[in-house]
Structures are given as C-alpha cells and as structure tokens.
Chains A and B, each alone.
Chain A
Amino acid sequence: MSGMILDGFRFFFEDAQGNHILLADAGDYAANESKALLHYIDDDYVWVMRDNLKNITEYIENAATKGGALRAALAILAVRELFGKYRPRRILWMGTFHRAAIGIAKMLPVFHDDNLIYAVAPGLPDDIEKNIVPIRTVCSSLPLPEDYFDVVIIDTVDVTSDRMAQLLLSLRVGGLFIHVLPVGKVIPCTIPNADYFSDDEGNTLLRARMSRDLTAVFREGTMKGRLNRQKRLVSYILDELGDSLGSILASDDDLRLEAAITQAALAEENILPIYEELVSEDIKYLANRFKESLIEFRLNRSEKTRARVFEEYLALRREMREYDDF
C-alpha cells in the first residue's frame, strides 16, 4: 500500500518494516475517532496510534514552528520510531527557514539521542542545536552520499530533475522523501486536503495540503529509487550465491548448503515487496523454485537433485535478465 487518503485522516502508508502506519493530524484524529480505520488496518495499530498520538501531539505543539509540513515531518519520525527499530535517524533538511529545523531538532532526542538533522542553508546561525549538523551552502552544490539518509526534506527550494534523482538515491531503502512546495506551484486538488498524481517516471505521488500556505508532497517507499535498490539487493544476493553454487553443491558441507538456502530465502523475501512492480510475473515463483531445489538437494543428495539446483538457478536468472533488467 503506497498511500491512501481517508476521510478525516491524513496519511496511511507502509514503512520500511512493512508496518501499516497511520499518520494523522492529532486534531483530526480526535474529531474522527469514531471512524476508526478498522477496514484498512488492524485494530492494534489503531489503538497503538491513538495512545501515541497524544504524545506526538505534545511534541508538535511544543515545537518552535507551527508549519504544517514540519508537524508532518516530526510525526513521521515519531511514528517510525514507534513501529520501526530504534536506531539513529539521519535527516537531510534542505533550504528552509532555519528556525523550523531548530524546532524539530529540539524534539529529536525524545526519539533517539543520536538523531541528526543535516541542515543545508547558507545563513545558519552559529549557536545551533546539538542535533543539527550545519551545512552552510546552497542545495545544488552539496555532494550527496548514496543510500544514507532516512528522511530527505526539500523545503520550498527549486531543484532540477537531475538533482532530484540524486536526492532520491541518497535515501535509504524505505526512506521518506518530503517535498514542500509553495502553494502557487501546486496543481489544484480535487479532493479536500489531498490527492494523487503521477510524475513522469510513473511514481505515484501523494500530495496533501498541510497548512494554508504550504503543501507537502510525499513519495512513498514504492518509488523508483527504492525499486532499483531492492532489485540491486536481490541481484547481489543471487550473484554471490551463483559464484559459489558449484563449490557448495560439490562439497559435503551441510552448513554451507544451509547458508545457501538461507541466502536463497533472503532473495525470495526481498522479491516479495516488489514483485508487483516487476515486468515478469514469474520471478517470485522461480525464486521459490530455486529455494525449493536447494532444500531438496539438502534432503536428498543426488546427481538429479544437484542438476535441478543449477536448472532452477539459471531459469531464475534468465527471467530476471529478460524481463526486468535486474
């Protein structure tokens, strides 16, 4: 589920761990509690969210800014911490009214001591919060590492499409991209508060009006950048396995063979979240057959079961090459 607008609620999406996340404006949530999203998400999530939204609301209300996009960003971080693994988050915050970042930074230690905002703006002050790494430059000249940030926020800054691509690649798998546009640049919404549209790469974007003067655009985990990274991961796992498959099958080492089964299962697991976006309908199926052949060989070692492992591996790789350009 890449995003869904529901009456009275802002956002509903899936995080990197596959959890269904409700991101709601606290006020809206209170007003619409009776319309609980039981049809879409498990009761547990609704109730967990309700309890924790109270806390999120407090953080938001105490923040230095009242900007809607900032509230959203903070709430997203909060929700991710609630459902995800607790680890430091890296947030790239580009070109903004710097006090907003400072306001958010004050709240970050609540979620994790080592949360950091990399704030990019030429005029950042000297006395800055400890959770902010000041980068006093303009957005376009900043070198970007790949696969690094958990959240990238572009706040009312114009970026070229090339730069946008680099920014997307700087996100980690499942990372969140927030683009805040001045209201004048936004296509009129037909649905109150939000709508969907597609960009020229075919990504579905979810746009929601977060306040009177700002509109946030959310790109979810299904975006092309993530798809490509996930594909690369699957390819990497299978390449590694392919390189050692011959020696693993020739040896009597059951531990190595079981490691290979684990690796094949890992490739299969990583195909699951993206299989609907692949051109081939059968990569998921063939990955399962490959894993099955390894298990069969583990249980019944013979020339026939060994040969089948190679056949299934080649069938999977052929399908990946022919259809999806892995």
Chain B
Amino acid sequence: MGEKRRGVYSLPAYAGWSNQQLTKNCGIVPYLFYKKFGFHAVMAGAKTEDSYPYIKYVEGMDVEFLPDGELSTKLDYIRSHAEDMDLLILHGYYPNYVDIVQCYCDLRPDGKIYMELDINLQAADRTPWRSEKVTAVLEACDVIGASCRSMQQYMMRKTPYKVEYIPNGFYDFESVDFTPDFSRKEKIVLTVGRIGTHQKHNELLMEAFAAAANEMPGWSVRFVGRIEEHFKKYIDNYYVRFPALKERVVFTGVVTDRNLMAEEYQRAKVFALTSRMEGGTPNVIAEALSAGNYIVTSAIDAAEEATDRGQCGAVFPIEDEIRLTEILRCLSSNEEQLERGGHHAVLYAQEAFDYGRIVDRLYYLLYGECGA
C-alpha cells in the first residue's frame, strides 16, 4: 500500500462557484496542488450557473456540486469528507466560516487551513479583527494570505496575525498561451470583467476615451465580459451621444473560450482597470501583464504592484476622469513607452505572478518543505 493521497478542498463563502472562478485564484490554487504535488483536489459548492465550460481547463481537479448552498449542506459535506480533507482552502473572512472552521477543526485537528484573505481596505476597516468570531476563524488558519502588499502591510499593522503575501497570479493552462507577439499588437485599450457594475466603473473609461478619441487616431476600446442589464441603456445612450465611436468602443460580451480570451489580451497594447475598489490583486492584472499589456489602473490597493511601481503602467486617482483622459492621450502618442512597458510587464509577470512559484511558496509555508 502506498501513502494516502492528500486531499485539498476549496469551499466557497457564498453558495457556490461561478464558471470563471474555476480559472481564477479560487480554482487555480487547488488545481496546482493537484498538478504539482499530487493532491486530490476538489472545489465543492452549489451550482450557480447553467454550465461550467472552464472545467475542461482544470481537468484532474474534481468540481463537486452540492444540492444547495446552505451552511448545513456544507457542514454535512465536511463531515462526510473530513478524512480526505488534509487541506481546506477558505476565501475571505465571512461569518459562516465560523461554523465551517469549527466543524473542520473538530474532525481534523491535524488538518491545515489556508485562508485566502482577498480583501480591500474598505472591507478590512469594517471587519472587527479582534472579535471572538473573527479570532476563532483566523487563529485556526495555518496560513493567512493577502493578495497585495498594501493589504498585507495593513493587516500586519492592525491585526495580531501573521499575514503572508500570496498574490493572485497567472497560470498558463495547457493549450492556452498568453505569450505576446509585440509586432502584432494593435491600438486597443482592453478591459475585462463584469461590465457595468458599480465596482468596475466602466463608464469612466468610456467617457475618458470619448474625450481623448480625436487625439487617438486608430485606437479602440474593447470591453470583454458579461454586461449588466441596467448598463445596456447607458451604452445605447453613449452611442447616441458619440455616434462616431460606435465602431471604436466595442462590447464583446462573455468570452468563455480561454484561447479567444488570450487573443484579446495579446492583441491589446493597453489594459485598463477603472475599479472603485478591488479585493487585492485582480486576476485580470496578472493575465494582462503576462500578455504584455501596459497597465492603466485606478489607485486600487494593488495599483503599485499592478504597474510594478510605474515601470509597466500608470495609475490615476479613483473616479478621476480627467487624469485618465490625459494618460490615454499621452500613451497613444508614445509607442516606445508602451512597448518598453509591455516587455517589462511580461518579465515582471513571470517573476511576480507566476502561479507555479506562488503555490510552491504557499506549500512551503504550509508544510515547511519544498513540494517538488
């Protein structure tokens, strides 16, 4: 008999996982524990979408759909799988994790917990870090990770815990290659995410581009991702106000094929993020960097890392349309800066956001040894 195969389980704070989360940090970390260290990897949660086409990218990891997203269902699941749960991955501090952690620790006192604390400053300020419930969860964790330096620093100052820097990185799934060919890059400003949410503040980019468009000949903006229903009216109105931009401001809708997604990144010279807030380093930043995009981002907590302190990007104050317009205008006439920044972005992504390396370090923190 060989040694028992260790199990890693990722449980959501909410009901279940979205398709996209399978190839984001929530899915990549357990997947890489399977791929690199031979763990039995499982993402368990309720089904929240009709289909999960991204399952094909994480082949080898089990995606188990629970009958519902109730806490009691998750607790039952832990009870029936505790023996295999050598490592439990949790995502952010949420009150229902109190019971989950208690249940897991009772059944597996020898097990390990990794808390991926993907949090932003606003949420951190509201969290009672020294309350009984928060303490009960965080003290049970073997590793607590923050995905950007500023949040790690904040947490180290304000809480009694050790908080490790575990950024949301980038992973080249098999058959998907983000490596850019700079000679084929186009004059495109790309943005990826849920389009039209208050958080993403996409209208800022639309308005800034409208203001700069005359001085940016040949440039276009591409919005990739599901469009919020209420935002469609805003888009229609935008085209009425700026009919000349109909061909230059493009909404692709959802792109579920990772190869097509990779193509979007590879074509673009600039990646723009206009969010009012983000929980740590957004996954899209690591993807954009690895495809050689020059990053233009609002001053989110992770802005400094997203641009490698200005070496491959520019930062504007949150909600500052004028500054964003200036940056776009300036970049469009500065090919050299874009290309230099793009090349730097690729190297920087390999160094700082390679998920293989990040997970190696996480494994070391958890088990005190190299996993390979």
Is B160's CB within 8 Å of the partner chain A? yes
Bound: A297/B156 CA distance, A: 23
How far, in Å, is A284 (CB) from chain B's closest CB?
A: 5
Bound: A66/B370 CA distance, A: 59
Is A304's CB within 8 Å of the partner chain B? yes
Contact (Cβ within 8 A) B132 A39? yes
Is A219's CB within 8 Å of the partner chain B? no
Bound: A300/B152 CA distance, A: 22
Chain A residues in 8 Å Cβ range of B153 = 282, 285
Which residues of A259-283 have CB atoms within 8 Å of chain B's CB atoms? 268, 272, 275-276, 281-282
Q: Which of the segments B25-33, B161-169, B195-203, B269-277 contacts the partner chain? A: B161-169
Among the interface residues B162, B351, B361, which one has the most CB atoms of the partner chain A within 10 A? B162
Contact (Cβ within 8 A) A288 B351? no
Is A298's CB within 8 Å of the partner chain B? yes
How far, in Å, is A147 (CB) from chain B's closest CB?
A: 26
Is A320's CB within 8 Å of the partner chain B? no
Contact (Cβ within 8 A) A285 B361? no
Which residues of B212-270 have CB atoms within 8 Å of chain A's CB atoms? none
Chain B residues in 8 Å Cβ range of A285 = 152-153, 156-157
Contact (Cβ within 8 A) A299 B152? no
User: Assuming A268-B162, A304-B351, is B156 touching A292 (CB within 8 A)?
Assistant: no
Contact (Cβ within 8 A) A288 B360? no
Bound: A292/B153 CA distance, A: 14
Which residues of A279-315 have CB atoms within 8 Å of chain B's CB atoms? 281-282, 284-285, 288-289, 292, 295-296, 298-300, 304
How many chain B residues have a CB neighbour from A under 8 Å?
A: 17
Chain B residues in 8 Å Cβ range of A281 = 157
Bound: A59/B132 CA distance, A: 34
Bound: A293/B361 CA distance, A: 10
Which residues of B324-372 have CB atoms within 8 Å of chain A's CB atoms? 351, 357, 360-361, 364-365, 370
Contact (Cβ within 8 A) B361 A292? yes
How far, in Å, is B156 (CB) from chain A's closest CB?
A: 4
Chain B residues in 8 Å Cβ range of A296 = 357, 361
Contact (Cβ within 8 A) A292 B162? no
Task: Give A292's nearest chain B residue, CB to CB.
Answer: B165
Chain B residues in 8 Å Cβ range of A300 = 357
Chain A residues in 8 Å Cβ range of B156 = 282, 284-285, 288
Chain A residues in 8 Å Cβ range of B360 = 299
Chain A residues in 8 Å Cβ range of B365 = 295
Which residues of B290-312 have CB atoms within 8 Å of chain A's CB atoms? none
Contact (Cβ within 8 A) B364 A295? yes
Instruction: Give the size range of A's interface with the partner.
Output: 10 to 19
How far, in Å, is A220 (CB) from chain B's closest CB?
A: 17
Which residues of A233-279 have CB atoms within 8 Å of chain B's CB atoms? 268, 272, 275-276
Bound: A9/B160 CA distance, A: 26
Task: Give B370's nearest chain A residue, CB to CB.
Answer: A299
How far, in Å, is B41 (CB) from chain A's closest CB?
A: 21
User: Assuming A292-B165, A304-B351, is B364 touching A298 (CB within 8 A)?
Assistant: yes
Chain B residues in 8 Å Cβ range of A289 = 165
Task: Give B361's nearest chain A residue, CB to CB.
Answer: A295
How far, in Å, is B49 (CB) from chain A's closest CB?
A: 36
Chain A residues in 8 Å Cβ range of B163 = 288
Bound: A268/B365 CA distance, A: 13
Chain A residues in 8 Å Cβ range of B361 = 292, 295-296, 299
Which residues of B146-185 have CB atoms within 8 Å of chain A's CB atoms? 152-153, 156-157, 160, 162-165
Bound: A292/B162 CA distance, A: 12
Contact (Cβ within 8 A) B162 A288? yes
Bound: A300/B361 CA distance, A: 10
How far, in Å, is A252 (CB) from chain B's closest CB?
A: 14
Bound: A282/B154 CA distance, A: 9
Contact (Cβ within 8 A) A298 B370? yes
Bound: A39/B361 CA distance, A: 37
Chain A residues in 8 Å Cβ range of B132 = 39
Bound: A199/B317 CA distance, A: 47
Chain A residues in 8 Å Cβ range of B165 = 288-289, 292
Contact (Cβ within 8 A) B160 A272? yes
Task: Give B154's nearest chain A residue, CB to CB.
Answer: A285
Chain B residues in 8 Å Cβ range of A292 = 164-165, 361
Task: Give A40's nearest chain B residue, CB to CB.
Answer: B132
Chain B residues in 8 Å Cβ range of A304 = 351
Contact (Cβ within 8 A) B157 A299? no
User: Given contacts A281-B157, A285-B156, A288-B163, could you give 12 more A-B pairs where the C-beta distance is less than 8 Å?
Assistant: A39-B132, A282-B153, A282-B156, A282-B157, A284-B157, A284-B162, A285-B153, A285-B157, A288-B156, A288-B165, A292-B361, A300-B357
12 pairs of residues in contact across A and B, judged by CB atoms under 8 Å: A272-B162, A276-B160, A281-B157, A288-B156, A288-B162, A288-B165, A289-B165, A292-B164, A292-B361, A299-B357, A299-B364, A300-B357
B residues at A contact (CB < 8 Å): 132, 152-153, 156-157, 160, 162-165, 351, 357, 360-361, 364-365, 370
